[in-house]
Amino acid sequence: IELYHDCLLWRVGNKLGTMLKIDKLTSIHSRGRFARICMEINLSKKLVLKIDIMGHVLNLEYEGHHSVCFSCGKYGHRQGQGAMKTRTKIRTT
């Protein structure tokens, strides 16, 4: 099975979110370690780290994820920092 075929990459992207494009170098080279795609994803949902396509488990990595926690899979904080919560201080006298 050709895991870098355009049709398969579009299928992966659309399964995760809204597929926008395939990286130019990925579309030129038929072999390599990574395939890069550009897609829009809903950051209020947990990020998918693995996906099964036609019996093959693909590990996913995300670029441009400045505040993404891969422990809980949500946007807004990084792993090890804990969830960003608004804290209310109560003053007692």
Q: Which residues, listed in sequence order, are joined to residue 21 by a DSSP beta bridge?
A: 38
Confidence of residue 80 (pLDDT cuts 50, 70, 90): low
What's the chain's average pLDDT? 74
- The two three-digit tokens of residue 55, written as one number: 């019996």
pLDDT in tens, 41-66: 887 788 888 988 888 888 888 887 66
Confidence of residue 14 (pLDDT cuts 50, 70, 90): very high
Beta pairing class for 50-53 and 56-59: antiparallel
Q: Which residue pairs from 5-9 have beta carbons closer than 8 angstroms and sit at least 24 positions apart in sequence?
A: 8/53, 8/54, 9/35, 9/37
Q: Are 58 and 51 in contact (CB under 8 A)?
A: yes
Q: Are 17 and 38 in contact (CB under 8 A)?
A: no
